Structure 1
Amino acid sequence: MTGPTRTPLTELLGESSIRLGLSATDRFDAVAQCGEALVASGAVDEAYVESMLERERAVTTFIGEGVAIPHGTSSGKDSVKRSAMVVLGFPDGVDWGDGERATVCIGIAAPAGGHVGLVARLAEILLDPDLAERLRTAREPEQITALFAA
């Protein structure tokens, strides 16, 4: 017996959801940029951006390997229209505090409880050193799409 079929992560990416070559003044600017990209994709209302910033003020979304996964608090769940993901690349890195630098921010939005599954699936990529390196060094959106297609 097999489990339910998983939606490929690429189906959560909209046409302009991968933005590379960006810069941010600090982690909060990077989180806000992720939120604005989610708003632009039509997945969330503007209120979700503040929910993402609220989470970042409470606990870091930096998970290691140069990657942060900004997402909203449970209070922001009513602002989510559909599950979505954006990938923003900051080649010069963003100071995330405690000596950590993020070069990739993957903003996610999901209905209540859906964040856990998305983060777990992203962790599968990040736990593989080769795949994590490919994510950090991607310079073209197609490289990200290929990485998330599996």
Structure 2
Amino acid sequence: MRDDLLDPRGVLLHESAGSREEAIRRCGRALVDVGAVAEPYIEAMLERERSISTYVGEGVAIPHGTAASKEDVKRDAICVVRFPDGVDWDGDQVTVCVGIAAKNDGHVPLLAALAEILLDPDRARTLREATEVHQVTKELTS
């Protein structure tokens, strides 16, 4: 995965959320805070979740906006938000959200790279259990 996609300020490892919606809002806020998206993108992430779950297994969800929200994306980016106590994701437990912002088809290589990591149980565990930002950036950019 390209190094410039993950701003270390977008790696939040000690968050908590009382609901899936709250967790998605936290991811969206992280993308806003690193300058990757405009504020309306957060609502688009929630809209996407209402149409189809972004849970992908291994305790990981990949919230992202709708096709219509691409105009709110300033640059391709990801954020990693860890919820050590977990979040109920419609019956599944999510401990890591990888928020994605992508213009055009920029999300396709991002999703492919994430899938590769999540298909490797050791790498997925590293993401779920990371307590230091450098652990996450190393895993996602190596």
Fold shared by both chains (TM-score > 0.5) = yes
Q: Report whether the alignment pairs 1:48 with 2:41.
A: yes
TM-score by length of 2: 0.96
Of 10, 27, 31, the residue aligned with 2:24 is: 31
Question: What SS does the corresponding residue of 1:29 show, helix, strand or coil?
Answer: helix
Q: For 1:42-73, what per-residue CA distance to the aligned partner results, in whole angstroms no more than 9, with x for missing partners? A: 01100111110100111110000000000000
Q: 1:62 matched to which residue of 2?
A: 55
Q: For 1:21-50, what per-residue CA distance to the aligned partner results, in whole angstroms no more than 9, with x for missing partners? A: 110011111011100110111011001111
Question: What SS does the corresponding residue of 1:112 show, helix, strand or coil?
Answer: coil
Of 8, 13, 17, the residue aligned with 1:15 is: 8
Query: Which ranges in structure 1 are unaligned for 5 or more consecutive residues?
Result: 1-7
Q: 1:140 matched to which residue of 2?
A: 132
Q: Report whether the alignment pairs 1:113 with 2:105.
A: yes
Q: 1:124 matched to which residue of 2?
A: 116
Shift of 1:10: 3.2
The CA distance in 1 between the partners of 2:62 and 2:3, in whole Å, is 16
Equivalent residue letter for 1:137: E
Equivalent residue letter for 1:37: A
* Alpha-carbon spacing, 1:94–1:9, altered in 2? closer, same or farther (3 Å): farther
Question: What SS does the corresponding residue of 1:107 show, helix, strand or coil?
Answer: strand
Please say which structure displays the higher CA radius of gyration: 1
Percent sequence identity is 54
Q: Give 4+ residue runs of structure 1 displaced > 6 Å after superposition.
A: none
The CA distance in 2 between the partners of 1:20 and 1:9, in whole Å, is 21
Q: Report whether the alignment pairs 1:104 with 2:104.
A: no
TM-score by length of 1: 0.91
2:6·2:78 contact (CA, 8 Å) conserved in 1? yes
Equivalent residue letter for 2:77: A
Shift of 1:16: 0.8
The CA distance in 1 between the partners of 2:3 and 2:57, in whole Å, is 22
